[in-house]
Amino acid sequence: MESFFPELHPNPGWYASESKNNLSNLHDDFAENIGRHCILELYDCDKAKLNDEDFIRVTITSSAKIAGATLINLVTHGFNPQGVTGLALLAESHISIHTWPEIGYAAIDVFTCGDHTMPEKACKLLAKDFEAKNFSFKNIDREIPMGINMLHRDP
């Protein structure tokens, strides 16, 4: 797993562009990258850890910290006979974990906004903590289409 997240760098590289008044380009031109959404699927994990609600609380907290995010609230729920869901509300967005210990699988989202967070670091820690032997990772830039800035919105 050493080549995990080769795109990881200390400056996420947010940018801003000039706004356009052309709604036909609403989905083509983007004014601003407001965050990143990492989708992580872990396979062949330690089944005991996937079913340990206390462990999941600790690893979510640690992953938020290493990503440079601010934890506001943490909710977890253990299911009977197995599985845990955890949700960390961050000042910058959220981290969610859903586990299926019976098959050694975890579905994880790490969504952070702002230019000071590094969600890839959180994902790397989670993969390590759950002792995943295999994984799938997608890093999605969350962008505001330029035309949105020109739309009128009543409160």
Q: What is the 3-state secondary structure (H, E, C) of the chain?
A: CCCCCCCCCCCCCCCECCCCCCHHHCCCCEEEEEEEEEEEEEECCCHHHHCCHHHHHHHHHHHHHHCCCCEEEEEEEECCCCCEEEEEEECCEEEEEEEEHHHCEEEEEEEEECCCCCHHHHHHHHHHHCCCCEEEEEEEEEEEEHHHHHCCCCC
Structure tokens at 38: 């990492």
99/48 Cα distance (integer angstroms): 11
pLDDT band at 136 (very low <50, low <70, confident <90, very high): very high
pLDDT tens, 73-92?
A: 999 999 999 999 999 999 99
Decide if 2 contacts 81 (C-beta within 8 A): no
Quote the CA–CA distance of 59 and 35 in Å, as a whole number.
22
Domains and CATH numbers, the chain: 35-142 (3.60.90.10)
Mean pLDDT computed over every residue of the chain: 83
What's the whole-number mean pLDDT along residues 28-41?
A: 79
* pLDDT score at 154: 60
Residues identified as active-site: 93, 98, 113
